[in-house]
Chains A and B, each alone.
Chain A
Amino acid sequence: MGLTPEKETPFIERLPGANYMLTRMDQVINLARSNSLWPLTFGTSCCAIEMMMATGASRHDIARFGAEVARPSPRQADLLIIAGTIVKRMAPRLRTLYEQMAEPRYVIATGACTISGGPFIYQSYTTVRGADEIIPVDVYVPGCPPRPEGLFYGILTLQRMIKQGETVRRPGIRSKPVMSALPPNITMNDIEAEMESLLRQEADIDVEKARKERDWPTGLNH
């Protein structure tokens, strides 16, 4: 089944000396829900480009978290990633799409514009100041646009919230919305330094060591 009990310790308990595992239906359902979030193919503005190309394409690859099955119909989608500036004209349509989604439905707001209106908060005649003026939001992801790892961090936060969240006995009970920023002590310099060290690591080749690793066992060389 592909479950690793060691990683899912709060949910799944292995019976000692047997091939059985004990858990509760709620937790299995939440586990399944959190690992197959189907996002709606919908973007209101430029963050959607980042969402599609940076996180959906290879290298970063949203499929690693089970959220790659983008559905063009809101009836089949679980997750609404609101990406980009929402204008007054689009707001009722966005609300309609949200209402068409089946329960349980989750909402991630990415980028400055969907959190607060962003750079258009003053002196704009048309920008809605934050997605939560229209629909309830579960996770806010800051950035302009958020980096792919920032959006992944938001998806992981949402998965954690789902696993701790509603149960069969108490449907519709959700956690409070959270702001999911990357940890504050990580700066661009850290990331660049790490990438540089990785590049150096790959560029420096220890010839002796590489040859030894390639060598056959004794007697077969030369």
Chain B
Amino acid sequence: MSDAITPPEVPASEPPKQDALVTQVIVLGLGAEPYARKADCPAVQVSATQLLPLMTRLRDDAGLAFDMLTAHTVVDRLDANIFELVYYLYSLNHRKRLLVSSSIPRENPVVSTLTPVWKIAEFQEREAYDLFGIQYDNHPDLRRVFLEDDWKGFPLRKDYKDDFMLTHVIEEES
């Protein structure tokens, strides 16, 4: 075993490659930054105040033309005390996918609605309101969509509890 296979040498300090699409979004100058966490597609993050201008530009820019809001969901990061809003965009013209993330504080979860940009955002935001309690500013019809209208609380929040859930049984056993 004298000639064991040696792994190819990797240069120690190569800067991580930035996706061309991410660069293209950042040079718009609307507050977009590279996404700080790991993602499975090109991703940017933006402050909540800059969200609506950036999204409008992403849709209207001819070089980007993101005409579909594929999915909108929320991550409850209890330890960091924020809600992370996640928007998946898709461009049918350029066949490109982009993740846009934005964080808002848990105590006051207010963000502007994206209904004027994409009509489908109306229902996706109703779902996020229903389960996470995100308050969308200027939303035309912010009602519950899955749960009953008289439901108390927002069940997908990490700190949600009610009597129906039998959480005390688990706590007694552990």
Contact = CB atoms under 8 A, between A and B. Distances in A.
Interface of A: 88-89, 121-126
Contacts of B165: 122-125
A88 B160 CA distance: 17
Given A89-B146, A89-B148, A125 B166 contact: no
B80 interface: no
B162 to A, nearest CB: 6
B155 interface: yes
Interface string B143-174: 00011100000010000101011110110000
14 contacts: A88-B148, A89-B146, A89-B147, A89-B148, A122-B166, A122-B169, A122-B170, A123-B165, A123-B170, A125-B155, A125-B162, A125-B164, A125-B165, A126-B147
B157 to A, nearest CB: 11
A125 B164 CA distance: 6
A85 to B, nearest CB: 14
Nearest to B131: A125
A172 B162 CA distance: 39
Given A121-B166, A123-B170, A125-B155, 8 more contacts: A89-B147, A122-B166, A122-B169, A123-B166, A124-B165, A125-B160, A125-B165, A126-B147
A124 B161 CA distance: 10
Interface residues of B, number: 12
A88 B148 CA distance: 9
Contacts of A123: 165-167, 170
Interface string B41-78: 00000000000000000000000000000000000000
Contacts of B167: 122-123
Interface centre among A121, A122, A124 (most CB of B within 10 A): A122
Nearest to B164: A125
A123 B169 CA distance: 9
A126 B166 contact: no
A124 B146 CA distance: 15
Interface centre among B148, B160, B164 (most CB of A within 10 A): B164
Contacts of B146: 89
A125 B147 CA distance: 10
Contacts of A124: 165
A102 B162 CA distance: 38
Nearest to A123: B165
